Amino acid sequence: MNPEFTRLYGYSADEVVGKTTPRVLKSGKMAPEDYRLYWQALLGKEAVRGELVNRTKDGRSITVEGSANAVLDDRDAIVGFLAVQRDVSERKVMEAKLVDVSTHDVLTGLYNRRFFEEEMARLQRGRQFPVSIIMADLNRLKETNDREGHAAGDALIQRAAQVMTSAFRAEDIIARIGGDEVAILLPGIDAAAAEQSVCRVQVALDKHNATQSGTPLSIAFGVSTAAQGASLGDTLIEADALMYVDKGSR
């Protein structure tokens, strides 16, 4: 080990050299299979490159990028291992932020239209049918913008996003695809279950409005379901049309 190891992990040479093993750096955030393949390659005298999530002396998790290889004697026997690492934690955080910005709507934190369309294409090619799509449109947003200003309208959109997020599963894709339009992809959900999802949102809306003194939330919904082989594009169009029917009846 060198001084950089001490700076990175917090252990002095006296604490680790000859007294412990690389297990002291295990973060618990790597799959056992990753370690098995790592050591299988090293013991097979192969060089290993990649990223590891390790733990520092004070318990922090850091992502390191580096390489390792076996050290051989003149009889080609393994006598040790050499590893070179560098901390890439800040880079990983920035990469995650860039991914988030590219896939999420800034105002609501929901997925954006681009990500929604990519997921719809992915589901179209997959085997998670039936797939239901719910179209949701915030009612009276223009009136709120005209009466109270766009900041109030933005707050209304954010409240609606929070309510809808609370009513769906983690695997459901909730995306803001327009100014006041939200589309939800429900993989593996049939028509009856999709209608139940809308009911859950309505219950959540009622609870939300009961605790708010401002403009009450009102959302129009349209639901359509695609069986295996059906076009999700057509399903989205049908859900959108049904949403406008619901909107016109309010």
Same structural domain, 154 and 223 = yes
- What global pTM score does this model have? 0.69
Do the domain assignments include residue 99? no
pLDDT level of residue 71 (50, 70, 90 thresholds): very high
Name the E strands within 172-243: 173-176, 181-187, 219-226
pLDDT of the residue at 97:
86
Instruction: Extract the tokens encoding 133.
Output: 């799509």
In angstroms, how far is the first alpha carbon of the chain from the final one? 71
For residue 130, give the CATH number of its domain. Answer: 3.30.70.270
pLDDT at 237: 97
Task: Determine the structural domain holding residue 70 and report its residue range.
Answer: 3-93
Residue 139 lies in a domain: yes
Answer whether 193's CB lies under 8 Å from 132's CB: yes
Same domain, 129 and 230: yes
Q: 77: domain CATH number?
A: 3.30.450.20
Convert the pLDDT of each residue in 146-175 to its tens digit: 999 999 999 999 999 999 999 999 899 999
Which of 60, 93, 126 marks a domain boundary? 93
Residue 98: inside a domain: no
Answer yes or no: do 57 and 117 share one domain.
no
Strand partners, 186: 132
* Element containing residue 151 per DSSP (H, E): helix 150-167
Q: Are strands 111-112 and 173-176 parallel, antiparallel or unpaired?
A: parallel
In this structure, the dihedral spanned by the alpha carbons of residues 44, 49, 50 and 55, taken in order and rounded to 10 degrees, is: 70
Does residue 79 share a domain with residue 121?
no
Both 203 and 115 in a single domain? yes
The answer to whether residue 234 is domain-embedded is: yes
Q: Give the number of domains in the chain.
A: 2
Confidence of residue 20 (pLDDT cuts 50, 70, 90): confident
| Token pair recorded at residue 65 | 């990028």
